[in-house]
């Protein structure tokens, strides 16, 4: 008998029977409050009726056309809708299936457009598991070790991780910007650097919001040195942070934006957007793929963007995120192992530390596991594995947030 790969490491023992909104119903008959959302993917909740209907209708019309061979209506509609939310000037879109593929596409584009080899990424960043994407990733050695050599030309600069350093945000940002200049003057010269890449909120790296002033500082250096600025919105985008794009807490705008995950509520589709001028320097057959921009996924993405707009989900993410963050902070005095509570919108996290202030991965894992007994699904993350991340659907209600926090406290 064939079995699943022994390498499969499942964070929970739950086998899903069906799911709806913020709830997952297991084959064990239990209803779990899902604060994992397929790692930030099921943005409109599980099986939102409008997304289900759009996908169903599309399956009966055309499933796959391969869009560099045959264009289909959902992709044209999606492109038009993305145009309403993309930062000004990013008027050209390329589609793929996953976040990693889109990250790869952005790197290919940056290198081809600039003719320069190097990319500067940041400590704790996560950009995916394919070889180029893993090369940009430093959210944990597990994403890198064992399959070297990775792609060359990648250099890392520090991220302003204020809590870890025991600094205030301004001090951490000043330090990180000075270090970035140092990296530019030493290991990756300006003349060789094609792009900076960063997430607006470090995802797998520990749910660390990137301070707006840091994003502004990177933008300023990108302009000064003629380096492209890539913002990876794969996890933070499509409303999750309480703004449509996570980087919109700062004034900085990207030259290339990457989106995936929440874009289609669970259907695999990703995209990069850039100016037409930039995009035209990186195409020429270098980008593409069999399944990218699939018609059913595109139809689901169109429905998702409609639901996000019609149901005010960006605002809901902000308001429910504030509720969640405040309720978690209120638990801190009682549970000193909750070293830091932080987040933006519905990307909230608790970083667990020992009495000596060291990362406590065992505590994070214990809480995540204990939460399952409370019918609450959570994930861990962070370079040290000591962060519990809380990633509800954007449709989460005030009552569900309250229930989630009560269950979290019981797990603690
Ligand atoms: N970029 C970010 C910020 C992510 O969070 C992820 C996935 O978690 C990726 C890229 C890679 O996306 P995928 O897993 O769809 O390849």
Domains and CATH numbers, the chain: 16-47+312-411 (3.90.1150.10), 52-310 (3.40.640.10)
d(C-alpha 192, C-alpha 120), whole Å: 10
The answer to whether residue 207 scores a pLDDT higher than 90 is yes
Counting ligand 1 atoms within 8 A of each CB, the residue from 40, 128, 129 with the most, and so the one to mutate, is 128
Q: What was the pLDDT predicted at 283?
A: 67
d(C-alpha 245, C-alpha 86), whole Å: 8
146-150, 174-178, 373-377, 393-397 — which is least confidently predicted? 146-150
Q: What was the pLDDT predicted at 72?
A: 96
Count the neighbouring beta carbons within 10 Å of the beta carbon of residue 148: 9
Q: How far is the CA of 332 from the centre of ligand 1 (A)?
A: 30
pLDDT tens sequence across 143-152 = 998 998 999 9
**pTM for this predicted structure:** 0.98
39-43, 213-217, 265-269, 279-283 — which is least confidently predicted? 279-283
Q: How far is the CA of 127 from the centre of ligand 1 (A)?
A: 5
Q: Whose CA is nearest to atom 10 of ligand 1?
A: 127
Residue pair 281/116 in contact (Cβ under 8 Å)? The answer is no
Q: What was the pLDDT predicted at 282?
A: 80
Compute the CA torsion angle 180, 183, 189, 194 (nearest 10 deg): -50
* pLDDT > 90: percent of the chain: 93
Q: Which residue shows structure tokens 């608790």?
A: 350
- 240 pocket-lining for ligand 1 (C-beta < 6 Å): no
Q: What was the pLDDT predicted at 285?
A: 64
ipTM: 0.99
Confidence band, pLDDT 50/70/90 cuts, at residue 263: very high
Confidence band, pLDDT 50/70/90 cuts, at residue 284: low
Phi, psi (degrees; rounded to nearest 5) at 89: 95, -20
d(C-alpha 354, C-alpha 127), whole Å: 29
Q: Number of C-alpha atoms within 13 angstroms, CB side, residue 345?
A: 29
Degrees (nearest 5) of the Cα angle 140, 327, 403? 95
Q: How far is the CA of 4 from the centre of ligand 1 (A)?
A: 23
The answer to whether residue 11 scores a pLDDT higher than 90 is no
CA distances from 308 to 15, 49, 83, 267, 304 (A): 28, 13, 15, 16, 6
Q: What was the pLDDT predicted at 135?
A: 98
- 193 pocket-lining for ligand 1 (C-beta < 6 Å): no
DSSP label at 251?
S
Confidence band, pLDDT 50/70/90 cuts, at residue 106: very high
Compute the CA torsion angle 412, 400, 305, 288 (nearest 10 deg): 30
Q: How far is the CA of 100 from the centre of ligand 1 (A)?
A: 6
- 99 pocket-lining for ligand 1 (C-beta < 6 Å): yes
pLDDT tens sequence across 285-327 = 678 889 999 999 999 999 999 999 999 999 999 999 999 999 9
Q: What was the pLDDT predicted at 140?
A: 87
The residues that bridge with 327 in the sheet, in sequence order, are none
Residue pair 103/232 in contact (Cβ under 8 Å)? The answer is yes
Q: What was the pLDDT predicted at 202?
A: 98
Task: Work out the average pLDDT over 12-17.
Answer: 94
Q: What was the pLDDT predicted at 68?
A: 87
Tell which atom from ligand 1 comes closest to the C-alpha of 103: 10
Q: How far is the CA of 391 from the centre of ligand 1 (A)?
A: 14
The answer to whether residue 85 scores a pLDDT higher than 70 is yes
d(C-alpha 175, C-alpha 158), whole Å: 8
Q: What was the pLDDT predicted at 240?
A: 98
Count the neighbouring beta carbons within 10 Å of the beta carbon of residue 12: 18
69 vs 371, residue with greater confidence = 371
Residue pair 400/20 in contact (Cβ under 8 Å)? The answer is no
The answer to whether residue 358 scores a pLDDT higher than 70 is yes
Count the neighbouring beta carbons within 10 Å of the beta carbon of residue 88: 7
Q: What was the pLDDT predicted at 6?
A: 82
pLDDT tens sequence across 112-161 = 999 999 999 999 999 999 999 999 999 988 899 899 899 999 999 999 99
- 234 pocket-lining for ligand 1 (C-beta < 6 Å): yes
- 127 pocket-lining for ligand 1 (C-beta < 6 Å): yes
Residue pair 343/207 in contact (Cβ under 8 Å)? The answer is yes
């Amino acid at each position: 008998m064939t079995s699943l790969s022994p390498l499969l490491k499942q964070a929970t023992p739950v086998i899903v029977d069906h799911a709806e909104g913020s709830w997952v119903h297991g084959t064990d008959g239990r209803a779990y409050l899902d604060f994992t959302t397929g790692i930030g993917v099921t943005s409109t909740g599980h099986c939102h009726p409008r997304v289900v209907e759009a996908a169903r209708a599309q399956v009966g019309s055309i499933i796959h056309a391969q869009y560099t061979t045959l264009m289909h209506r959902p992709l044209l509609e999606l492109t038009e809708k993305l145009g309403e939310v993309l930062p000004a000037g990013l008027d050209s879109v390329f589609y793929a299936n996953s976040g990693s593929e889109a990250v790869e596409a952005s790197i290919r584009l940056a290198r081809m457009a600039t003719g320069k080899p190097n990319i500067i990424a940041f400590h704790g960043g996560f950009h995916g598991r394919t070889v180029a994407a893993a090369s940009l990733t430093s959210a944990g050695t597990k994403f890198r070790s064992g399959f070297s050599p990775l792609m060359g030309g990648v250099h890392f600069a520090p991220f302003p991780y204020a809590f870890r350093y025991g600094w205030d945000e301004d001090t951490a940002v000043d330090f990180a910007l000075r270090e970035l200049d140092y990296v530019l003057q030493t290991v990756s010269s300006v003349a060789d650097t094609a792009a900076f890449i960063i997430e607006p909120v470090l995802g797998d790296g520990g749910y660390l919001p990137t301070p707006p002033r840091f994003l502004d500082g990177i933008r300023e250096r990108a302009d000064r040195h003629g380096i492209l600025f890539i913002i990876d919105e794969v996890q933070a985008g499509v409303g999750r942070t309480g703004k449509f794009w996570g980087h919109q807490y700062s004034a900085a705008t990207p030259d290339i934006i990457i989106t995936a995950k929440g874009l289609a509520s669970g259907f695999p589709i990703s995209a990069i957007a850039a100016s037409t001028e930039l995009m035209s320097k990186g195409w020429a057959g270098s980008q593409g793929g069999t399944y990218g921009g699939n018609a059913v996924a595109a139809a689901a993405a169109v429905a998702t963007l409609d639901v996000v707009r019609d149901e005010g989900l960006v605002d809901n993410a902000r308001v429910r995120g504030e509720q969640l963050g405040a309720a978690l902070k209120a638990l801190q005095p009682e549970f000193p192992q909750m070293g830091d509570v932080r987040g933006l919108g519905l990307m909230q996290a608790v970083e667990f530390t020992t009495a000596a202030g060291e990362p406590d991965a065992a505590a994070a894992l214990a809480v995540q596991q204990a939460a399952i007994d409370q019918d609450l699904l959570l994930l861990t993350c962070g370079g040290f594995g000591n962060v519990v991340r809380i990633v509800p659907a954007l449709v989460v209600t005030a009552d569900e947030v309250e229930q989630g926090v009560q269950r979290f406290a019981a797990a603690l």
